[in-house]
Amino acid sequence: MDIEEELDGIRRQRARFTDFMLGYKFAIDEMITKINILREDFNNTNEYNPIEHISSRLKTPQNIVRKVRRKKFPLSFDSMRDNILDIAGVRVTCSFISDIYKIRDMIADQEDVTIFEERDYIARPKASGYQSLHLLVEIPVFRARGTERIPVELQIRTIAMDFWASLEHKIYYKYDGHVPDDLQRELIQAADVASRLDRTMEGLHESVRQGEVVHLADEATDREAADREAADRETADREAEERLRDAEAAEFLDLLDRETASAAG
């Protein structure tokens, strides 16, 4: 093989890899569009937005190859497609824990989305204290040559969980994965604090929501009472007017009778 053929082969592989990665980029775009539609529609319907922030990431070629080698998978496009399921990733940050499951349910209800794996690290946190809901979903990407179904890793977590995870990532990166024991213990304690904060805020949110319901119910009761009072006043006024008209009519008839009797006499 001469140098030109070798370069041509490299160019073809590069073009194929670019095309391969484009599919995952488009899958991220599709997933974000779906989530944004849910956010806007939910906000319009419920006057409340459960989604605070959306971010995404596409694994770099170097990280993909590194993971393939670490897992001892064949280094081929088919192998990467079948075995590396987190090439495309989308993260959704919420205010409250209940929002996480609302979003999960809304995504699951979409006919063209398939959730084929769910890992609930909120119900069962990792030993490190990490909490998040991880979904592996498959969505259709409509390309010029036809439709492809591509996996996307979807992480849904609260603001407190996201802050903790970001801090953990920085610490593990700084220590190259070998975090001192005392720092690991502090991370676990911080995760517990974040979890308690989430549940406290959830309780406050529910109390406020219930308070609004009670307040609205009280307002409705007050309006009903006011409406009944107004209706009673209207009925009383109408009856008084009718009595007055009856009295005036009786007085007129009595006067007419007297006038008639006087004329006859």
Break the chain into its structural domains and give their ranges. 3-179
Average of per-residue pLDDT across 135-141: 97
Q: Which CATH superfamily is domain 3-179 in?
A: Beta Polymerase, domain 2 (3.30.460.10)
Tokens representing 145 are: 């040559």
Tokens representing 185 are: 């213990």
Chain segment 35-73, per-residue pLDDT in tens: 999 999 988 888 788 899 999 999 998 899 899 999 999
Average of per-residue pLDDT across 256-264: 58
What pLDDT score does 245 carry? 62
Among 6-15, 98-107, 115-124, which stretch is predicted with the lowest mean pLDDT?
A: 6-15
Is residue 133 within 8 Å of 155, Cβ to Cβ? yes
Residues serving a catalytic function are: 153
Residues 6+ apart with CB under 8 A from 121: 130, 131, 132, 133, 134
Chain segment 67-106, per-residue pLDDT in tens: 999 999 998 889 999 999 999 999 999 999 999 999 999 9
**Euclidean distance between CA atoms 113 and 55, whole angstroms:** 19
Q: What is the chain's mean pLDDT, rounded? A: 85
Average of per-residue pLDDT across 177-199: 89
What pLDDT score does 216 carry? 47
Q: Using the predicted structure, report yes or no on whether residue 256 has a pLDDT greater than 60.
A: no
